[in-house]
Every structure is written in structure tokens, then in C-alpha cells.
Amino acid sequence: MRQIVLTHRIRIVLLDYDLTLVSNIFDFYDAYNEALKKFLGKTISFNKFYDLLINYRLDYFLRKDIDKEAFWRFFRKNYRSMYGYPVDGAYYFLYWVKNMNMKTVIISGRECHPDVLYYELRRFGLDEYIDEIYTLFNLYVVGGVEEELFDKTWLIRYVLKKHGIDPSEAVYIGDYRLDYISSKKAGVGFIGVAFDPERKECLYRVGAKYVGENLYDALYYLLEIIRIERREKDV
């Protein structure tokens, strides 16, 4: 692959995995139902699940006597991509990010060994574009801190420190409000990807400036960030 030499500040792109790089909502549904069955002895329809998901109300069934942390850790340990496929623009996005000589690192909210995601990426033909993968499994292995469920701030800082990269030289791409909050706490830029208008609006409400529907949009916003940076440098 011939690399395009560009002068810009962004050195690394950090990516969420589920519903950001890979469209696997049915796998999300299966894992959520498995957790409901284990902790509440019930399951729900996909339509009900979808309504809860797009409105950020997946805690709806978790009564006060349910251990919320145990529930969600069970969920994220059992989340597997059986029906998933790359989101629109995935290959295009990763190709051009690699072409612009940026590192591409996945920081996922799953709690599985990173090799699980490597196997999935290999199946999709995306593994050659990914430099490293981290999940919340890594956070617990190295003694990191998860300030709240699905908080990735510590992992983001860990990756940046490992590669000697300043937060201003990084952008995180994700679909969840905690992705945005983690990015903000770590001091890195954020681009949202939302498959549904309600989730898109939620990301805007928490403060996200750039939110697209897929990774084609994410690449456009990444280039826009670079263009703005250049204009400011020229002033």
C-alpha cells in the first residue's frame, strides 16, 4: 500500500468495536437476553429491546435487588459476533486512515480476550488494518480503573502513554454516550457513529460535535478536523 504523506496532528484513531466498526445488533440482543435470563429468569422481544437500546434505557428491567455490575459484566463477557458484519464504510475508512499513516487501535467495551476480536476481524478481512486491540479484559488484567460501567478513560490514557502520543493527537470514534464521556475525560477528540436518529440526538445532547451514520461520515469528519487544524495553523 502506498502511503500518502500528510502533515497533520492526528497520529492515532481509537475505535469502539460493537455498533461502531461492526454492525451486530442481533448479537447485542442475544447477549442482553442471556443476561436477563440469568439474572431475572426472563427474555424480551427484539422490538422491546430495540426501543430500550435507542432510548438508552437498557437498565429498565434491573430492579434494586439486581446487582447491576454483575449483570453488565456477564453481558459483556458473553457478547459474541455470530451475525455481525462490517458497518458501511468500514473498509474505506480503515484503508484511508492507514494510508494517512495513522495508527488504528480498537478499545472495546467487551470483557473478552482481545484475540476474540482478532478472530472476528480476520473473518471480515479487516485485521490487516488494525494495529492493536484492547478490551475491558485488559483493564482488569493490568489493574486499571473503571470509574463507572463501560468507562474507557483509563484504557484510552494507557494506549496514548504506551505510544507516546498526546491526547490532542488522538481521535476516538464510538456510538455510545460513555464513549464520548471517556474521550472528553481523556482529552481526545470524538466522532460519533449512530445508526438511529434517537441515538444520534443523544450524542449531540451530551456534547458531541461530530456525529454521523456510518464510517463514511466518520472519515469525512476526521478530514474536517484535520482541515480545521490546518486553517488554525495558517492563521
Q: What pLDDT, on the 0 to 100 scale, is given for residue 9?
A: 87
Phi and psi at residue 134, in whole multiples of 5°?
-130, 145
Q: What pLDDT, on the 0 to 100 scale, is given for residue 5?
A: 45
- pTM for the complete prediction? 0.93
pLDDT digits (tens, 9 = 90+) for 89-129: 999 999 999 999 999 999 999 999 999 999 999 999 999 99
As a whole number of angstroms, the distance between CA 46 and CA 43 comes to: 10
Q: Are 90 and 219 in contact (CB under 8 A)?
A: no
Q: What is the largest CA-CA distance in the chain?
A: 62
The tens-digit pLDDT sequence of the chain (235 residues) is: 445 445 568 999 999 999 999 999 999 999 999 999 999 999 999 999 999 999 889 999 998 899 999 999 999 999 998 999 999 999 999 999 999 999 999 999 999 999 999 999 999 999 999 999 999 999 999 999 999 999 999 999 999 999 999 999 999 999 999 999 999 999 999 999 998 999 999 999 999 999 999 999 999 999 999 998 777 766 5
As a whole number of angstroms, the distance between CA 38 and CA 231 comes to: 54
Pairing of strands 85-86, 22-23: antiparallel
Q: Are 196 and 142 in contact (CB under 8 A)?
A: no
As a whole number of angstroms, the distance between CA 18 and CA 10 comes to: 23
The residues that bridge with 185 in the sheet, in sequence order, are none
Say how many C-beta atoms besides its own lie within 10 A of residue 124's C-beta. 15
Q: What pLDDT, on the 0 to 100 scale, is given for residue 81?
A: 87
Q: 12-23+85-234: which CATH topology? A: Rossmann fold (3.40.50)
Q: What pLDDT, on the 0 to 100 scale, is given for residue 70?
A: 97
Domain boundary assignment for the chain:
12-23+85-234, 25-77
Q: Are 134 and 105 in contact (CB under 8 A)?
A: yes
Q: Are 205 and 218 in contact (CB under 8 A)?
A: no
Return the half-sphere exposure (C-beta side, CA atoms, 13 A cut-off) of residue 212: 19
As a whole number of angstroms, the distance between CA 197 and CA 208 comes to: 14
Q: What pLDDT, on the 0 to 100 scale, is given for residue 122?
A: 96
Phi and psi at residue 58, in whole multiples of 5°?
-70, -10
